[in-house]
Chain A
């Protein structure tokens, strides 16, 4: 793997545990989705994005997304992990398909404003799924192979691949992670606090490889 210079983060499932109900309700009201909500907020969210296609706007869409943000519980290790990553010089950006208002509320609620060099959402990126990732790459002038995207869904892995960045699994649920591992992610972590070591390991391996070649 190439050395990692940037981490793209989708708050849903990677920085916080989101409730499923608000995303499911949007899918029901806007797209007539039938059936029960998934127990996983991430799966409901990515399913909704699939239904949204190129995007959708509705007043209650934004309201329900903010409801989801307000009910989300941030993972306890995000501040120490982001602090460490920032001190390592890793470029941190949010690349999300949530609305501008929902992302702003998430960042404000969890006091994460100082960490991100870029914040891309479906409005300022003008699109969903891979579009915010691509805009984040362009905004930071980064090569996609030097970028990781954290995800805990199959759709997230596919979106990362389509943007050319390295999909890394957040293995929140072991059974689901075992299933997702078959989709060939570039790696996987149990917790965000492992990402700094992940990046250091890749850097050390690349350094060793270069040393071996020059010998």
Chain B
């Protein structure tokens, strides 16, 4: 394992100061289920200084806000989300999604912030290949085995998929993320937080959080009456695996008429992929058993699979049909 120095700040401001001092050689450490593996594998981009935020107050909570929405501290464990009665009552789809993230053991350690900002799980990166995210200038996933963890929707330099399920499940609720920055609090939608492969501070990463910023919480607006949502996930193994394709879908219903829709695919692109074409198609339609087949016909028209992963698109379309069928049941 790479040797590291650990700081244990007691406030967010102190943590930001330490991060600013060390630049890209420092990183936030909370659950460690992603970060410690990067250190163990001695990846080029693994940090030398860890800023442990576990001792900072007010980063680990689930609370209802004045508007009836819910705010979740970024250091809250996934297991705590899964066990939350408040979340189960207000956003059962989110709880369903969290319960499908990795294994119970890992959910006891992983945090919401860590899941949202995790590094990709491309086997070439994790295997120490010198790729775009590991000190090199080539995507081995684009030319090697890309059947599981690579994009079927095109890419830009890195072709790994964004692996998180929480972001996919939060987008249909129009959730927002709060960041602490040296300039103050910054608020972003989840789509803005994880827009896919982009260059930040001279690195390729899936999220926009800079080296001296900390994700502090996620705010979910109150659920609207008539909202139905479903989360579907296909993975190589029943537990302990990332999505080959996943779907978070929400429908705003008036009787059986769809007033509004959110359709977000996970595991097939470099970001949680909001499929607005399907959303537009669904608006005004009547929820029925035939709707799934019709929705499939307009879904993912811009797919650009790599050599071995065209099946991901079929899986994603299948999930769309099954998701709509569940919501119709």
Interface residues of A (CB under 8 A from B): 1, 168-169, 171, 174-175, 177-178, 181, 185-190, 193-194, 197-198, 200-202, 204-205, 207-208, 211-212, 215
Contact = CB atoms under 8 A, between A and B. Distances in A.
A204 B143 contact: no
B156 A188 contact: no
A135 B314 CA distance: 51
Interface of B: 23-25, 132, 136-140, 142-144, 155-157, 159, 199, 201-202, 204, 306-307
Contacts, number: 63
Contacts of A212: 23, 25
B121 to A, nearest CB: 20
21 contacts: A169-B138, A171-B138, A171-B142, A174-B143, A175-B307, A178-B144, A181-B140, A188-B138, A188-B143, A190-B139, A197-B156, A197-B199, A201-B132, A201-B199, A201-B202, A201-B204, A204-B199, A207-B202, A208-B202, A211-B23, A212-B25
B306 A200 contact: no
A189 B156 CA distance: 9
A187 B202 contact: no
A177 B159 CA distance: 15
Contacts of A169: 138
Given A187-B138, A194-B156, A197-B156, A208 B143 contact: no
Given A171-B142, A174-B142, A177-B143, A1 B202 contact: no
Nearest to B202: A204
Nearest to B25: A212
* A-B complex: 3 closest residue pairs judged by Cβ atoms: A187-B137, A204-B202, A188-B138
Given A185-B138, A198-B157, A205-B202, 18 more contacts: A171-B138, A174-B143, A174-B307, A181-B138, A186-B137, A187-B137, A187-B138, A188-B139, A188-B143, A190-B139, A190-B155, A190-B159, A197-B156, A198-B137, A200-B199, A201-B202, A207-B202, A212-B25
Contacts of B139: 188, 190
Nearest to B140: A181
A76 to B, nearest CB: 13
Nearest to B137: A187
Contacts of A177: 142-143
Given A171-B143, A194-B157, A197-B157, A208 B23 contact: yes
A1 B23 CA distance: 20
A15 to B, nearest CB: 20
Contact of B157 (A168, A186, A189, A208): A189
A198 B202 CA distance: 11
A211 B142 CA distance: 32
